[in-house]
Amino acid sequence: MDKRTELEQLGEFGLIERLNPKRRIINTSTLFGIGDDCAAMTYGDKVTLVSSDCLVEGIHFDMVYTPLRHLGYKAAVSNFSDIYACNGRPAQLLVTLAVSNRYSVEALEELYEGLNLACEKYGVDLVGGDTSSSNGGMFLSLTAMGECDKDKVVRRNGAKVHDLICVSGDLGAAYAGLLVLQREKAVFMANPASQPDLSDYQYIIERHLKPEARKDIVQWLSDNSILPSAMIDVSDGLASEALHICKQSNVGCELYYDKIPVDYETIRTLEEFNIVADTGALNGGEDYELLFTISQSDYEKVKTNKNISVIGHITDQSQGCNLVTPQNTTIELKAQGFNHYKKQ
């Protein structure tokens, strides 16, 4: 009998590697494909960037606490974030939607209000897609397309020893917001008459339900003549994304525990769940901040931007990937984020 490998043994990224071994590029227009936030094709003087993402009801979102406008907005923004992570500008969006008949036309109009709002804010055209019926709730598949100058495309594989590791904004907020929403759902399911009071959690809930892509950071880097050596968006947690860059670049890293930016509301909320704040920041995901590496010569510029934190540096691959504690001890950096294929 042939050996059976369970999906949970590989997880999402292991499965991607298993199904997509390194392939020979056939078309001269293909610049790079699987392994980065986007695929890239060259046509003329510009590079065309393409990224796709799917969202499945019950896996990626829960309709008990997810307004449809917010879902549409978040679905679009998460794709735009991939384009920005390659230092590009999103320009077009395709949306494929499969829904069951329990959704009304008015409900789907709300979903598209969110999609259209995101497109208007980020200067993107919603140019097409497909619709279908579904036997099990809602399924969304989005493809974003953008562009970038050939000499400005940033991948995950360019980090060099001694480069500084930077991250935009703060981390862990989206995860903290999710925990609050899940807790309030449990209370509601036990007592439908209960009314949640979310006034103390507005920032983190917004970070989960209606995140923003860091267009401003990409623009600031360009305005200040800084081209990151590697970049990725933080959709699966800081630890996971740092490991992706290190693996693709064949380097190691040191991240400093006390340099990881975490908002006070995130810290307070995670403490309610007995979770150390930096653990949530390292493994929470869906923050859609940008993690990138820069030359040390760009430090004087970066330190002036309060929305960017320097959290570590790149080391030789032989030194591994490590987290440095405030006591100056090192811990191996491991990704402990969500496993899509873990058996429940």
Confidence (pLDDT) at 1 = 46
State phi, psi for 287 to the nearest 5 degrees.
Answer: -80, -25
141 shares its domain with 260: no
106 shares its domain with 253: no
Strands 252-256 and 308-315: antiparallel
pTM, 2 dp: 0.87
Assign residue 146 the CATH number of its domain. 3.30.1330.10
Q: What angle do CA 275, 276, 280 make, to 5 degrees?
A: 80
- Domain end (from 152, 174, 191): 152
Residue 159 belongs to some domain of the structure: no
Confidence (pLDDT) at 38 = 66
143 shares its domain with 34: yes
Residue 2 belongs to some domain of the structure: no
Confidence (pLDDT) at 31 = 63
Q: Are 41 and 30 in contact (CB under 8 A)?
A: yes
177 shares its domain with 130: no
Strands 125-133 and 89-99: parallel
Confidence (pLDDT) at 282 = 95
Confidence (pLDDT) at 344 = 47
Residue 157 belongs to some domain of the structure: no
Computed over its alpha carbons, how large is the radius of gyration of the chain? 20
- Domain end (from 152, 178, 200): 152
Confidence (pLDDT) at 39 = 72
- Domain end (from 152, 184, 202): 152
126 shares its domain with 19: yes
124 shares its domain with 216: no
* pLDDT averaged over 10-residue windows placed end to end, the chain, 344 residues: 66 58 61 63 82 91 95 97 96 91 91 95 90 88 93 95 98 97 92 86 97 98 98 95 97 97 97 92 94 98 97 98 94 74 46
Assign residue 273 the CATH number of its domain. 3.90.650.10
Q: How many helices (H) and strands (E) does the chain have?
A: 10, 13
193 shares its domain with 275: yes
> In the chain, how many domains are there?
2
Confidence (pLDDT) at 193 = 84
Confidence (pLDDT) at 10 = 61
pLDDT in tens, 1-34: 467 777 566 665 565 566 555 666 666 656 665 5
The DSSP result for 238-262, as a single string, is HHHHHHHHHHHHT-EEEEEGGGS--
307 shares its domain with 172: yes
The DSSP result for 250-299, as a single string, is T-EEEEEGGGS---HHHHHHHHHTT--HHHHHHH-----EEEEEE-GGGH
57: containing domain: 7-152
